[in-house]
Structure 1
Amino acid sequence: MGRLFLTKLDGAFYTCKLCHTHLANIEELMSKAFHCRNGPAYLFNSVVNVTVGETEERMMTTGMHIVADIFCICCCQNVGWKYESAFDEAQKYKEGKFILERGRIVGGSKEVSLISSDADEG
């Protein structure tokens, strides 16, 4: 097995809940209005330090999408998925974007209060 090269993020960011590997900068957060089977989920423009699994068609609440699960590069926890394509024209904005499940990530950095508060998740 080779050496892992990780991207370190500056400022406010989210990390893997299990191993605290940096996953997404708060500036890449597009929406907190998403949900997964396990609760709230966040839509991000980009993420780092993940591997992308096999693509599959998956029925979501907004219709059929082609998605690929994403995994933390360090601990291999499934942290969400990547939208590869959407069948519905109104959902095309999700293509190439990433979902991180709120229960599998934590806030981390000097600005923790900006991203770890659960008050806005109602």
Structure 2
Amino acid sequence: MQLRRRTKLLFDGRLVGSRFYCCVYCRNIVALHDDIVVKNFTSGTGRAFLFSHAMNILEGPKQVRWLITDIHMVADIYCSNCREVLGWKYEQAYRQENKFKDGKFVLDKFKITKAVESPLHL
């Protein structure tokens, strides 16, 4: 499997704000709280968050998948540190009412955790 690296760099490497989410397995920072688009999202495995951005992740190959709302082109996303699957990225929605999801990230709630405190640097 070939993975594409996706890292969000913020200014000089400092995190903006102090609220962020980490991989539950290795505590690698993967998303900022301010990037949550939908909090009551549902994935195939339970509750999830829809984020506008994610960081320190790897993207798997694109694939067509039937999801709850319809068929979508998606790519699984993995923690760049421990390689655990954390969710997926919406690459393309085929129905107009789902287009707002394009380019956004679904992170399963049970695979991420709120960080206790903000580090000074990534």
User: Normalising TM by the smaller chain, what interval?
Assistant: 0.7 to 0.9
Equivalenced residue count is 107
- The aligned counterpart of 2:47 is 40
1:72 matched to which residue of 2?
79
Check the 8 A contact 1:55/1:67 in 2, yes or no.
Answer: yes
**Aligned runs of 1:70-109 on 2, under 5 Å?**
70-109=77-116
Q: Percent identity?
A: 34
State whether residues 42 and 99 of structure 1, in contact with CA within 8 Å, keep that contact through their aligned partners in structure 2: yes
Unaligned 5+ segments in structure 1 are 112-122
For residues 71 and 80 of structure 1, what CA distance do their matches in structure 2 show? Answer: 7
Q: CA RMSD in A?
A: 1.8
1:109 Cα shift?
A: 3.3
Q: For 2:60, which of 41, 53, 63 is the aligned residue? A: 53
1 or 2, which has the higher helix percentage?
A: 1
| Superimposed CA distance per residue, residues 6-36 of structure 1 (whole angstroms, 9 cap, x where no aligned partner) | 9663410000000000010100011112112
What TM-score comes out, normalization by structure 2 length?
0.82
Say whether the 8 Å CA contact 2:8–2:54 is kept in structure 1: no
Is there any run of 5+ residues in structure 2 with no aligned partner, and where?
1-6
